Amino acid sequence: MKYIAEYRDGAKVRAMAKAIAAEVQPDRIYHLMEFCGGHTHSLHRYGLSQLLPPNIRMIHGPGCPVCVLPMGCIDAAIRLAASTGVILCTYADMLRVPGSGGQSLMKARAQGSDVRMLYSPMDALRIAQENPGRELVFFAIGFETTTPPTAMALKDAQRVGLKNFSVFCNHVLTPPAMRGILAQPGVMVDGFVGPGHVSAVIGEQAYAFAPREYAKPVVISGFEPVDLMASIRMLIRQINQGRAEVENEYTRVVSPQGNLRAQALMAEVFELRPRFDWRGLGSIPESALRLSDGFAEWDAERRFGIQVETVPDHKACECADILRGLKQPADCKAFATACSPENPLGACMVSSEGACAAYYAYGRHLEICEP
């Protein structure tokens, strides 16, 4: 914690807020997107948005793996969990996320499905070994951060010839999603606060397309208040100077090349899906992973013939516009009325890292009784 405390220093944060306020050009509005849900969470958790000048608008991006997973995938997982003999394992965040009709894995568990929460896919291997008569399916989700552990588990399963283990792979990729956002008409983003942990895996250069093809700066950031303020300042400077580059504020964790071993492992175990349906963003080409042919034997989609159907979002839901920065959570009619963390209608409300959920949990007081 000693290492973290210096990045939470209130005096430092306030000094940086002052510096940012002095550097922004008063006659322009800066639209900055923090892609990663972890950053969204930190911005709200520490009330950082309030410390920024009003002409810096933070747009909360789609970097919450639970939020962007299409409802059809959740429906498929719920159906799979209900099959005889199946133990479905997944990360805790997934349990409460509603599929269509309000059903969730947590409700399915209450109704008798064997759904288990785990912290690491290696635990799934152990559970499979302890239950040789059952089929263990790991419902794998997440960006490039949770992908290498899934790959490790698959390699281990292959090595020991584990027959009753398979993976329902829903891993998604950050750079194609950023590209998908930039390619959409009317998108208002002047620069990206780039993901921290994801970048530790894929490296700085994975974002080179954003400055090159779209003239948008990217600053890779850590998750603490001082990190975020420093990254925002770096973005403002780039924008003011008319530069567009990938810069790295999080050098204590992220290297230019990233984790080459993890990248090699991912390349061996997975291949690109031609398209993937992102909740809120729609279909984006080559933006998600599936198991490569070498691991077909452990692919739950092939083993169980899983079909993912397209389920449209609720009509009142404005998630698509919120994820593209066109609207704020409070602009949505359903926000905090029909749509709440207890009863989420849309992608942005389903996990604590979603834009609407973070705003609901931490920022709801601002419009009502600002001190």
Partner 1 sequence: MNHILDIKQGCVDMSHGGGGRAMAGLIEELFMKYLDNPWLRQQNDQAAFEVPAGRMVMATDGHVVSPLFFPGGDIGSLSVHGSINDVAMAGARPLYLSAGFILEEGLPLADLERIVCSMAKASQEAGVPVVTGDTKVVERGKGDGVYITTTGVGLVPEGVQISGDQATPGDAILINGTLGDHGVAIMSRRENLSFATSIESDSASLHTLVATMVEACPQIHCLRDPTRGGVAATLNELARQSGVGMEIQEQRLPLREEVAGACELLGLDPLYVANEGKLIAIVPEEAAAALLEVMRDHPLGQDAAIIGRVVEDKRCFVRMRTVAGGTRMVDWLNGEQLPRIC
**Binding stretches for partner 1 (CB under 8 A):** 1-2, 4, 8-10, 13-14, 17, 38, 44-51, 65, 91-93, 95-96, 117-119, 123, 141-143, 145-146, 197, 225, 341-342, 352-353, 360-366, 368-371
Q: Based on CB atoms, which residue is closest to partner 1, 61 or 65?
A: 65
Q: Which of 267, 142, 143 is nearest to 199 (CA)?
A: 143
Nearest approach in angstroms of CB 152 to partner 1 is 15
User: What is the dihedral sign for C-alpha 105, 108, 109, 113?
Assistant: negative
* Residue 36 three-state SS: strand
The token duo for 67 is: 């939020």
- Measuring CA to CA, how many Å separate 30 from each of 7, 18, 59, 240, 336? 24, 16, 10, 10, 27
Q: Based on CB atoms, which residue is closest to partner 1, 32 or 182?
A: 32
Q: Is 352 within 8 Å of 344 (Cβ atoms)?
A: no
According to DSSP H, which parts of the chain are helical?
2-5, 10-23, 37-45, 65-68, 71-81, 92-95, 105-110, 121-130, 147-160, 174-182, 197-202, 209-214, 225-240, 260-269, 300-304, 319-323, 355-358, 366-369
Q: Based on CB atoms, which residue is closest to partner 1, 182 or 234?
A: 234
Q: Based on CB atoms, which residue is closest to partner 1, 51 or 81?
A: 51
Q: Angle, nearest 10°, between helix axes 147-160 and 260-269?
A: 60
Nearest approach in angstroms of CB 220 to partner 1 is 15
Nearest approach in angstroms of CB 40 to partner 1 is 12
Q: Based on CB atoms, which residue is closest to partner 1, 142 or 280?
A: 142
Q: Based on CB atoms, which residue is closest to partner 1, 305 or 371?
A: 371
Nearest approach in angstroms of CB 219 to partner 1 is 19
Q: Angle, nearest 10°, between helix axes 147-160 and 121-130?
A: 30
Q: Based on CB atoms, which residue is closest to partner 1, 94 or 182?
A: 94
Nearest approach in angstroms of CB 264 to partner 1 is 21
Q: Which of 283, 279, 336, 241 is nearest to 98 (CA)?
A: 279
Nearest approach in angstroms of CB 291 to partner 1 is 20
Nearest approach in angstroms of CB 1 to partner 1 is 5
